[in-house]
């Protein structure tokens, strides 16, 4: 199957203009295929044009160009290649009509089909981004060939159909026919349809219909959250209309929460799709509700940046994602009860960007055109750099330009390119004109470079004066960027030495090129000097020795959550760079998390302590002590919240305690009693978490898992059972999980979510001896699976299925897989697998480096 290259896309865009798609989908043809008939009206710009349309059909029945049947004697080649040749086109208007059968997907790509185990109902939805539209309909599948889309659907009569435009039943009810209103010009990757017996909650706002949709088995949970979801949606909608001159450009705003969705959400105009884990059927923390709200705000921002104005090619994907990421957090802060969103960004999202930017697979936020030669390469860039680093860069840009200039530039950009396509240069031009500043030079330093700068203070005192010398260092690959930062000066509060008070916050500009900035002060030096206070820039920071002593004593006493997040990130970076012992990080967590009030910080610190320090950065013989420290920290949080205060903190502590427990007795008592002493009562999520940990510890049986599945037979229950079965410390259980993942049988293969669940349960640090034989087998098995099942499964099996062993043998086997000349054993055949394996191998290499640093200190 061919991938579309940038050169091919540019050539095709120069040759044709696409006007309209009329698509007719028949969703009544059984469990495996659906009918797709597509009529495309387009214009050839010159005579004797040779081009092609993309398609990935199960069967190609007819292709008619301008009323003439195209010969299909080469149909097998067309299907194999994924391209329908269109040759010798005359200048002027043309009509192409193609009738196909298409396959349903079980991997979250194209038209995904899901049958709910809770009630047997079936649901469909599309995921066309970024090059999967041709799994649904025939088209010219590139972002700069926008067109009007009109959709007709035949579905079972009891189903609801949703799409980019308002959906209306037509004909007799028993016919199950629907027509969706034509869209404004949009890109093929934004085409969307969802169909099934969805449960809907509807309202109207600003004259537009708004809807929330979910499968029926989740209806009670949607009803419970509908007011909150609509409130967030309305607030974001109104805020965007305050700051954007261009009104919302589509005819409705539906949000569908769909099963087995690979992304967090997708910004299809008029029909945003979300993973249905965002419809909570178990207790969640306020930080998780804030995350859901941010995703709502993020996707709505795309209606303007991405849908109204779209990049020309995928090298500018950051224009979509970085902008939506920045606007999502900023809009929540301005319009909702979530006023500390940037602290959550700092401890959760920003670290995603920092980590990605320090791997060999790093790339500029805005890559050069030759770095994104085709759609396969572009797919790899939906990562922490395009989202988190890009949003960090935009936040720094706003601090430099001023918000008013930034918004003026954006509105000029929308006005110039509405319903069209634009490039990075177009965007920068608009910002430069609005601000009068050299934004192009800024973009070259921030968007065309890779790596993370490091800012380090050196403090000297001289009588009643002191000096802060800020050293500004780039990576080996690039010189340092310019930074606009705030520097927080904090002192211990005399009456409460464990608390810190802000003496002053000083703004400073660090010029590009590195070196040191010297700032003189009078009076005593502060107890804590905190670079990048407020987290306005994207850089690793370090603390001087005196400030680090203050942090160890009084970190939880810093008055603002965002300042504490900056310090925790500094400590995290120092551990990852081998400059701070992992045990010292655990000691800081033990001392300060019991007093922390921000849930996002608690969750982020506990996750790093549990998943990285305990499982990877400490040698095996120190793991039990690390887990004991983590569980003791969780117990302190539980004691603090016994009075019912801080339910989110309590829930975060309960989850990490479960995951870190080394003794089965207490967890078994909780499961038998269906509650944590003092609360909360166990909901399905907590019960599966406990049973999963008991399975790892050898204190659960297959019968226990079967019984729990009877209690919770939902799709989430099926995933929990798969995870638990794979986690059992039993040779037969491991063989069965391995076969389900990697060895195709006679029945259907695991769906994308069941692959993730099974892989996530398989590798356990407690079971390395049992799993030894699978370490060698993993790499060739992953290559074969990726070749057979495609990019989504390749990414899952590399991300969740990578061996948990931290040793030189695993590193060597991984490197051999990446560098093998044998196509059957090399990850090179799958770009997604190669990228993810490369990242996992680099993380393994870093873990070995951290362990070595500890040995050298000892």
CA distance 265 to 292: 10
Same fold, 6-311 and 454-551: yes
CA distance 810 to 86: 49
* Residue 534 near residue 395, CB atoms below 8 Å: no
Q: How far is CA 376 from the centre of its chain?
A: 18
Element (H, E) at 396: helix 390-401
HEC string for 772-793: HHHHHHHHHHHHHHHHHHCHHH
Termini Cα distance of the chain: 54
Judged against a pLDDT cut of 80, whether residue 85 lies above it is answered with yes
Judged against a pLDDT cut of 70, whether residue 650 lies above it is answered with yes
pLDDT digits (tens, 9 = 90+) for 537-556: 999 999 999 999 999 999 99
CA distance 331 to 318: 19
- pLDDT value of position 605: 98
pLDDT digits (tens, 9 = 90+) for 758-784: 999 999 999 999 999 999 999 999 999
Burial of 857 (0-12, 13-18, 19+ CB in 10 A): exposed
Give every CB contact of residue 475 below 8 A, 6+ residues apart in sequence.
Answer: 450, 451, 452, 453
- pLDDT value of position 369: 87
pLDDT > 70: percent of the chain: 99
pLDDT digits (tens, 9 = 90+) for 92-108: 999 999 999 999 999 99
User: What is the largest distance, in Å, between two alpha-carbon atoms of the chain?
Assistant: 92
Judged against a pLDDT cut of 80, whether residue 754 lies above it is answered with yes
Judged against a pLDDT cut of 90, whether residue 17 lies above it is answered with yes
Task: Tell which residue, 519, 543, 531, has the closest CA to residue 484.
Answer: 531
- pLDDT value of position 477: 61
Give every CB contact of residue 107 below 8 A, 6+ residues apart in sequence.
Answer: 262, 751, 752, 789, 790, 792, 793
The position carrying tokens 């037969």 is 732
pTM: 0.96
Position 487 confidence tier, pLDDT thresholds 50, 70, 90: very high
Task: Tell which residue, 26, 366, 42, has the closest CA to residue 188.
Answer: 42
Element (H, E) at 65: strand 59-65
CA distance 786 to 818: 14
Six-digit token string for 83: 């391209």
**pLDDT (average), residues 376-383:** 92
Judged against a pLDDT cut of 90, whether residue 826 lies above it is answered with no
pLDDT digits (tens, 9 = 90+) for 676-711: 999 999 999 999 999 999 999 999 999 999 999 999
Judged against a pLDDT cut of 80, whether residue 1 lies above it is answered with no
pLDDT > 90: percent of the chain: 92
- pLDDT value of position 163: 98
pLDDT digits (tens, 9 = 90+) for 240-295: 999 999 999 999 999 999 999 999 999 999 999 999 999 999 999 999 999 999 99
CA distance 79 to 57: 6
Contacts 24+ apart (CB under 8 A), 644-651: 644/679, 646/597, 647/283, 647/680, 648/285, 648/286, 648/287, 648/599, 649/285, 649/596, 649/597, 649/599, 649/602, 650/679, 650/680, 651/283, 651/284, 651/285, 651/680
Burial of 560 (0-12, 13-18, 19+ CB in 10 A): middle
- pLDDT value of position 496: 87
Domain ranges of the chain: 6-311, 454-551, 730-858
Among 99, 267, 299, 749, the active-site one is 299
Which is higher by pLDDT, 73 or 657?
A: 657
Angular region, 402: left φ>0, alpha ψ -120 to 50, beta rest: left
pLDDT digits (tens, 9 = 90+) for 152-181: 999 999 999 999 999 999 999 999 999 999
Position 216 confidence tier, pLDDT thresholds 50, 70, 90: very high
**pLDDT (average), residues 207-233:** 98
Answer whether CATH 1.20.5 is correct for domain 454-551: no
370 catalytic residue (yes or no): no
The position carrying tokens 């435009």 is 165
CA angle 352, 357, 360 (to 5 degrees): 125
Scanning 252-381, the segments in alpha helix (DSSP H) are: 286-302, 317-335, 341-344, 350-357, 375-379
**pLDDT (average), residues 385-391:** 96
Judged against a pLDDT cut of 90, whether residue 109 lies above it is answered with yes
* Residue 246 near residue 308, CB atoms below 8 Å: yes
- pLDDT value of position 3: 93
pLDDT digits (tens, 9 = 90+) for 449-484: 999 999 999 999 988 899 999 999 988 666 789 999
Residue range 6-311, CATH number: 2.60.40.1730
Judged against a pLDDT cut of 80, whether residue 823 lies above it is answered with no
Judged against a pLDDT cut of 90, whether residue 148 lies above it is answered with yes
Position 501 confidence tier, pLDDT thresholds 50, 70, 90: very high
HEC string for 176-201: CEEEECCCCCECHHHCCEEEECCEEE
Judged against a pLDDT cut of 90, whether residue 340 lies above it is answered with no
Task: Tell which residue, 475, 203, 510, has the closest CA to residue 364.
Answer: 475
């Amino acid at each position: 199957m061919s991938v579309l290259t940038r050169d091919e896309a540019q050539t095709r865009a120069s040759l044709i203009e696409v006007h309209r798609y009329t698509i007719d989908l028949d969703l009544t043809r059984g469990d495996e295929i659906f009918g797709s008939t597509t009529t495309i009206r387009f214009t050839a710009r010159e005579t004797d044009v040779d081009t092609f349309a993309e398609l990935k059909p199960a069967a190609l029945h007819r292709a008619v160009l301008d009323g003439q049947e195209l010969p299909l004697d080469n149909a097998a080649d067309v299907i194999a290649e994924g391209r329908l040749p269109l040759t010798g086109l005359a200048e002027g208007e043309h009509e192409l009509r193609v009738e196909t059968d298409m396959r349903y997907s079980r991997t979250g790509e194209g038209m995904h089909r899901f049958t709910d185990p809770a009630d047997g109902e079936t649901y469909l939805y599309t995921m066309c981004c970024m090059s999967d539209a041709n799994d649904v309909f025939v088209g010219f599948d590139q972002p700069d060939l926008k067109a009007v889309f009109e959709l007709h659907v035949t579905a079972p009569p009891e189903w609801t159909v949703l799409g980019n435009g308002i959906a209306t039943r037509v004909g007799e009810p028993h016919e199950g026919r629907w027509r969706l209103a034509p869209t404004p010009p949009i890109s093929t990757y934004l085409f969307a349809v969802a169909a099934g017996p969805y449960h809907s909650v509807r309202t109207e706002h600003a004259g537009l219909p708004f809807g929330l949709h979910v499968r029926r088995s989740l209806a009670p949970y949607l009803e419970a959250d509908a007011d909150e979801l609509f409130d967030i949606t309305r607030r974001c909608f109104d805020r965007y209309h305050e700051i954007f001159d261009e009104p919302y450009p589509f005819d409705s705003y539906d949000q569908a929460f769909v099963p087995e969705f690979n992304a967090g959400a997708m910004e299809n105009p008029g029909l945003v799709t979300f993973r249905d884990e965002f419809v909570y059927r178990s207790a969640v923390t306020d930080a998780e509700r804030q995350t859901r709200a941010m995703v709502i705000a993020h996707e709505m921002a795309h209606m303007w940046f991405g849908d109204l104005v779209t990049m020309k090619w995928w090298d500018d994907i950051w224009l979509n994602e970085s902008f939506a990421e920045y606007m999502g957090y900023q809009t929540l802060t301005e319009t909702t009860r979530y006023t500390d969103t940037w602290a959550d960004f700092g401890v959760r999202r920003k670290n995603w960007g920092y980590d990605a930017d320090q791997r060999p697979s790093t790339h500029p936020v805005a890559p050069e055109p030759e770095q994104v030669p085709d759609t396969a390469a572009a797919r790899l860039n939906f990562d922490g750099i395009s989202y988190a680093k890009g949003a960090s860069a935009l936040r720094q840009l706003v601090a430099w330009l001023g918000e008013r200039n930034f918004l003026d530039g954006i509105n000029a950009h929308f006005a110039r390119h509405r319903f069209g396509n634009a490039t990075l240069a177009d965007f920068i031009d608009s910002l430069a004109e609005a601000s009068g500043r050299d934004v192009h030079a800024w973009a070259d330093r921030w968007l065309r470079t890779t790596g993370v700068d490091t800012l380090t203070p050196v403090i000297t005192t001289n009588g009643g004066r002191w000096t802060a010398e800020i050293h500004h260092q780039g990576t080996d690959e690039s010189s340092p960027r310019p930074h606009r930062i705030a520097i927080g000066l904090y002192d211990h509060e005399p009456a409460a030495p464990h608390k810190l008070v802000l003496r002053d916050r000083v703004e400073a500009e660090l010029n590009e090129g590195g070196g040191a900035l010297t700032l003189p002060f009078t009076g005593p030096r502060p107890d804590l000097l905190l670079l990048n206070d407020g987290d306005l820039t994207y850089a690793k920071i370090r603390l001087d020795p005196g400030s680090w002593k203050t942090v160890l004593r009084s970190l939880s006493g810093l008055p603002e959550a965002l300042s504490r997040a900056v310090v925790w990130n500094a400590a995290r970076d120092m551990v990852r760079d081998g400059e701070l012992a992992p045990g010292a990080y655990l000691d800081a967590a033990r001392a300060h998390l019991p007093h922390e009030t921000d849930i996002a910080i608690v969750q982020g610190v506990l996750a790093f302590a549990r998943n990285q320090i305990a499982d990877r950065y400490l040698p095996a013989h120190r793991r039990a002590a690390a887990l004991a420290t983590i569980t003791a920290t969780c117990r302190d949080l539980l004691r603090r919240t016994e009075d019912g205060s801080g339910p989110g903190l309590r829930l975060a502590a309960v989850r990490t305690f479960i995951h870190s427990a080394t003794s089965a007795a207490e967890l078994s008592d909780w499961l038998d009693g269906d509650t944590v002493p003092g609360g909360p009562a166990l909901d399905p999520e907590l019960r599966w978490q406990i049973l999963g940990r008991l399975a790892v510890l050898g204190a659960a049986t297959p019968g226990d898992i079967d019984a729990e599945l009877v209690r919770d037979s939902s799709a989430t229950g099926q995933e929990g059972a798969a995870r638990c079965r794979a986690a059992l410390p039993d040779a037969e259980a491991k063989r069965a999980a391995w076969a389900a993942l990697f060895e195709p049988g006679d029945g259907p293969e695991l769906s994308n979510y069941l692959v993730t669940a099974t892989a996530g349960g398989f590798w356990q640090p407690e079971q390395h001896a049992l799993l030894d034989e699978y370490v060698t087998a993993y790499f060739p098995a992953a290559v074969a699976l990726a070749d057979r099942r495609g990019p989504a499964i390749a990414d899952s099996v590399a991300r969740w299925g990578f061996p948990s062993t931290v040793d030189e043998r695993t590193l060597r086997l991984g490197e051999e897989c990446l560098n093998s000349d044998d196509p059957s054993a090399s990850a090179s055949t799958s770009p997604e697998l190669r990228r993810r394996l490369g990242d996992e191998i680099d993380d393994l290499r870093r873990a070995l480096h951290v362990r070595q640093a500890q040995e050298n200190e000892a």
